[in-house]
Structure 1
Amino acid sequence: MDIKLRKVSENIYEIPQEKGMNVPVRVYANDKLIEKMKEDKTLIQGKNVASLPGIQKYSIVMPDGHEGYGFPVGGVAAFDINEGIISPGGIGYDINCGVRLLRTNLKYEEIKPKLREIVNEIFRNVPAGVGETGKIVLSPGQFKDAVEEGLEWSYREGYAWKEDLEHVESYGRLKDASIEHVSDLAIRRGIDQLGTIGSGNHFIEIQIVDKIFDKDIANKLGIYEEGQVTILIHTGSRGFGHQIASDYIDLGLKKYREEINKLPDKELVYLPFQSEDGNNYWKSMSAAANFAWNNRQIITYFIRKSFQKVYNHPVEDIGLNVIYDVAHNIAKIEEHKVDGKKKKLVVHRKGATRAFPPGSEELVEDYKNIGQPVLIPGSMGTASYVLIGSEKSMELSFGSSAHGAGRNMSRAAARRSFNYNEIIKNLEEKGIYVKSTTKEGVVEEVPEAYKNVDEVVKVTDELGISKMIVRLRPIAVIKG
């Protein structure tokens, strides 16, 4: 496919609207990142998304954009709530894959002698890898409550502190969640997986604060000094969300075949939002999102238990407070300005993080005055960033930001190109201890398989979509 790409201004490119497209494509990237996007189908997929019914303003590709299923990963698209659609592929198979950041009262010097012991304890308590099951056994009724109530269930069951709920996007609950139209297979796949990481690019990292760019906002987040220890958790809805996505993609391909055949790519399969099918998927997706928030919460619970055992101190003395928890594979119903008028939209963020500015009604109370924290993890062994949402994001990207480094090499290519022992040696030389269920999991997620996260964050900051607050550096990685 021929892509007519023009540079609008620094860090902004556009694919102009043409026949078959309902809106133009906006790509937020520097010249270097654009060249990477040209190596796969990222830009083609961004253009394809622009053909979907009811899409508003732009099809958007964020700086970390790379090829995905139908939509590019790093894709944002907003659809009119009455005339538009909801796309399972535009949300992703791992519904509410997201990131949670915890802060501690520990400094690097205090954790260094106990680092391997802590990692090994967490590894025992938080299962990692394909198909792994968790330590919590739920009845079908308990599982229903968990996925319909979100973090309110975790709090009631003793897995969460009250303040945890105050530092999670949407307070950890999408209220339309219902298990009524979720398949038995999805329930079977998810019922024993709460409190697990999974595989792929999911991880738990122990990090230290490497650099503070804005001390005032960092302090309001609970980050006070360089060398302070933090924990980053990256995982999602596991087999439960994956099966829900699969079920509704199959439904769309069968039931809306005539409409889908008109699209440039069948992977853009969608359901009209105001249809019964669209409503059923919305409720099911919301249940998967609630599962993911509970999943990260129960992992937090076991991380707290692990630190408490190793240090033999009350966990409150150690800290391990939630700074924030963001979703980056999700759809939300939000109001945004389109052509100067406020409209209610179904905003799809696939590999994109919400980045609302100060004063937004959607923000949790503690952060209304500073804006929404944005968490951008790097690849294994590279820096991660904390940013804060800004007003410019509402103008440019429906209040969205990048979500990570973005792949530039397939997992198969990484396996062909890199050696496990060399990777471990290189990471150890950087002072990073890695504990993984499989060697393949490490090789596939080698830092070289990803774009430069510093470049992604630099573009995000320069555009004013989000503002850099803190850079974090890993000292230990746990993965599947």
Structure 2
Amino acid sequence: MKKESENTYVFEKKGDMKVPLKVFASEKLMKDIEKDRALEQGINMAKLPGICKHAIMMPDAHQGYGFPIGGVAAFDAEKGIISPGGIGYDINCGVRILTSNLGVDEVREKLEEILNVLYENIHTGIGSESKIRLETSELEELLDTGIDWAIKKGYATEEDKERCEENGRMPQADSSKVSDRAKKRGRKQVGSLGAGNHFIEIQAVEKILDKSTAEKFGIKEEGQVVIMIHSGSRGLGHQVCTDYLRRMETEQPEIFKSLEDKELIYAPLGTEIAEDYYKAMSAAANFGWCNRQVMTYETRNSFKKVFPDSDLKLMYDVCHNMAKLETHEIDGKMKKVYVHRKGATRAFGPGHKEIPEIYRDVGQPILIPGSMGTSSYVLVGTDEGMKETFGSTPHGAGRLMSRHQANKLYTGEQVQKDLKSKGILVRSASWRGVSEEAPGAYKDIDEVVKVSHEVGIGKIVAKLVPLGVLKG
């Protein structure tokens, strides 16, 4: 390991590594990263066929399945691979922010009431189901068309669509590549929060650091209330990942046997199984956008009930666990690559055609949630990030300990009490859901974002603080 600069470490290529491994972290965060198998997983990531330039680990990196969470890799579109373990089980786990015309004092007066209304309208917790019941044909339409389904049903507007990554739809999606079991798991879950680190959080803008960009994003003043929604493709996405991991292992025994880490099973791009997986992954991604969109619809209705004059506008919606065909400059040439972002956020710089026109001149909004009870941030994509990380940046604080360890150290009741003493209200489906997501179970979000800002892969625009949290 070589310290290349203040917040950058490099593991030079050696042995079976095809490329170096680059880690963006401060000394403090590197100590956290070294506590589990994340670095070993990062090195194994660098051994995969067709990987380009370097493997990357973000400041919030920690051990995952296959890739470390916080792992980014780009694979040559012709000679590379696609790996479910490099994308994750919760396909298109993502974050969106709704800006509001409400102030912090106004909302704090009715904070408990609005949390209760949200809890009634949006179902949370393990195995939670929504109020919507979809027949198979309608679910398949959702999987194939993404947010266009939500617009057709009245859950979304054209403006919502424009402010989603990929416009809320992966056109490669093919519901026929999604198993009946996965569809069964998803049929009753669109518009539900789920469990784990997923949440809906009412936040206040504490500090604006880039006033002109913040204003462009709809953040107009300190004390303004915003709502952050964090969820993914629920049981459907999890099943898609499981199905294709098993299929790749079974149908490609030679590849499976050759792997040092069996969790990194992959399919060579251009093969039938690779194409089937990408189509199924895209369908699960479409489910993720629709899931967050229906919750957005319910959030708007909930706020209207408590604050009749409220106006909630979607700022942006970003994805975490995805692979996408993109064009990036590598060794001085523009090259098509499949960028895997596992627990990492796309962060395109100014001028990129995939950024909504209203933001194109400043760069893509980046939304980085903290752990429950800590700050969250809005950043903006940079040219430097396009060069260094294939336009990627961290996705959150990153776990410091497992959920099992957190449950040993904390109780839900105590965490709720501690947060209440700081003026933060929590409503959850279970005490366990609170204890395993205790703030102490996560890395320092301020440090993670500071590294991103200083390295230049995402510039800080505004700091947000929690008022009330709805947890699974």
Among 358, 364, 378, the residue aligned to 2:356 = 364
Among 376, 379, 384, the residue aligned to 1:387 = 379
Among 328, 342, 347, the residue aligned to 1:355 = 347
Q: Counterpart amino acid of 2:386?
A: M
Matched, 1:407 2:385: no
In 1, the alpha carbon distance for the partners of 2:48 and 2:311 equals: 46
Give the secondary structure class of the aligned counterpart of 1:174: coil
Q: Which residue of 2 aligns with 1:244?
A: 240
Matches of residues 88-107 of structure 1 in structure 2 within 5 Å? 88-107=84-103
Q: Which residue of 2 aligns with 1:192?
A: 188
Do the aligned residues in 2 keep the contact of 1:51 with 1:263 (CA within 8 Å)? no
Q: Deviations over 1:258-285 (max 9, x none)?
A: 1122222000011112100000000000
Q: How many residues align?
A: 472
Among 266, 269, 275, the residue aligned to 2:262 = 266
In 2, the alpha carbon distance for the partners of 1:222 and 1:181 equals: 39
Q: 1:467 deviation in Å?
A: 0.5
In 1, the alpha carbon distance for the partners of 2:413 and 2:32 equals: 28
In 1, the alpha carbon distance for the partners of 2:422 and 2:144 equals: 43
Q: 1:427 deviation in Å?
A: 0.1
Q: Deviations over 1:13-60 (max 9, x none)?
A: 011101111111000001111111111011100000011110001110
Matched, 1:429 2:421: yes
Among 444, 449, 454, the residue aligned to 2:446 = 454
Give the secondary structure class of the aligned counterpart of 1:224: coil
Aligned-residue CA RMSD in angstroms? 0.7
Do the aligned residues in 2 keep the contact of 1:206 with 1:476 (CA within 8 Å)? yes
Q: Which residue of 2 aligns with 1:229?
A: 225
Q: Which residue of 2 aligns with 1:148?
A: 144
Matches of residues 131-170 of structure 1 in structure 2 within 5 Å? 131-170=127-166
Give the secondary structure class of the aligned counterpart of 1:348: strand
Q: Which residue of 2 aligns with 1:119?
A: 115
Do the aligned residues in 2 keep the contact of 1:326 with 1:353 (CA within 8 Å)? yes
Q: Deviations over 1:197-235 (max 9, x none)?
A: 100000000000010001111011111111100000000
Where structure 2 has 5 or more consecutive residues not aligned to the other structure, the ranges are none
Q: 1:126 deviation in Å?
A: 0.5
Among 64, 70, 83, the residue aligned to 2:60 = 64
In 2, the alpha carbon distance for the partners of 1:271 and 1:124 equals: 43
Q: 1:421 deviation in Å?
A: 2.2
Matches of residues 175-190 of structure 1 in structure 2 within 5 Å? 175-190=171-186
Matched, 1:303 2:295: no
Q: Counterpart amino acid of 1:229?
A: V
Give the secondary structure class of the aligned counterpart of 1:193: coil
Among 307, 332, 339, the residue aligned to 1:340 = 332
Give the secondary structure class of the aligned counterpart of 1:365: coil
Among 297, 317, 321, the residue aligned to 2:313 = 321
Where structure 1 has 5 or more consecutive residues not aligned to the other structure, the ranges are none
Q: Counterpart amino acid of 1:11?
A: N
Give the secondary structure class of the aligned counterpart of 1:324: strand
Among 9, 13, 18, the residue aligned to 1:22 = 18
Q: Which residue of 2 aligns with 1:8?
A: 4
Identity of matched residues, %: 52
Q: Which residue of 1 aligns with 2:35?
A: 39
- Per the normalisation by structure 1, the TM-score is 0.97
Give the secondary structure class of the aligned counterpart of 1:211: strand
Give the secondary structure class of the aligned counterpart of 2:139: helix
Q: Which residue of 1 aligns with 2:389?
A: 397
Q: Counterpart amino acid of 2:176?
A: E
Q: Deviations over 1:114-149 (max 9, x none)?
A: 111110001011000111111111111111111111
In 1, the alpha carbon distance for the partners of 2:427 and 2:13 equals: 48
Q: 1:190 deviation in Å?
A: 0.4
Matches of residues 274-285 of structure 1 in structure 2 within 5 Å? 274-285=270-281
Q: 1:361 deviation in Å?
A: 1.4
Among 366, 369, 383, the residue aligned to 1:377 = 369
In 2, the alpha carbon distance for the partners of 1:103 and 1:341 equals: 39
Q: Which residue of 2 aligns with 1:472?
A: 464
In 1, the alpha carbon distance for the partners of 2:301 and 2:355 equals: 29
Matched, 1:86 2:78: no
Q: Counterpart amino acid of 1:318?
A: S
Q: 1:107 deviation in Å?
A: 0.1
Give the secondary structure class of the aligned counterpart of 2:236: helix
Do the aligned residues in 1 keep the contact of 2:86 with 2:264 (CA within 8 Å)? yes
Do the aligned residues in 1 keep the contact of 2:411 with 2:431 (CA within 8 Å)? no
Among 208, 212, 221, the residue aligned to 2:208 = 212
Q: Which residue of 2 aligns with 1:76?
A: 72
Q: Which residue of 1 aligns with 2:434?
A: 442
Q: Deviations over 1:424-461 (max 9, x none)?
A: 11100111000000000000000000000000000000
Give the secondary structure class of the aligned counterpart of 2:221: coil
In 2, the alpha carbon distance for the partners of 1:370 and 1:394 equals: 14
Q: 1:419 deviation in Å?
A: 2.2
Q: Counterpart amino acid of 1:465?
A: I
Do the aligned residues in 1 keep the contact of 2:100 with 2:311 (CA within 8 Å)? yes
Do the aligned residues in 2 keep the contact of 1:333 with 1:344 (CA within 8 Å)? yes
In 1, the alpha carbon distance for the partners of 2:328 and 2:215 equals: 30
Do the aligned residues in 1 keep the contact of 2:411 with 2:432 (CA within 8 Å)? no
Do the aligned residues in 2 keep the contact of 1:166 with 1:366 (CA within 8 Å)? no
Give the secondary structure class of the aligned counterpart of 2:230: strand
Q: 1:392 deviation in Å?
A: 0.4
Q: Counterpart amino acid of 2:220?
A: Y
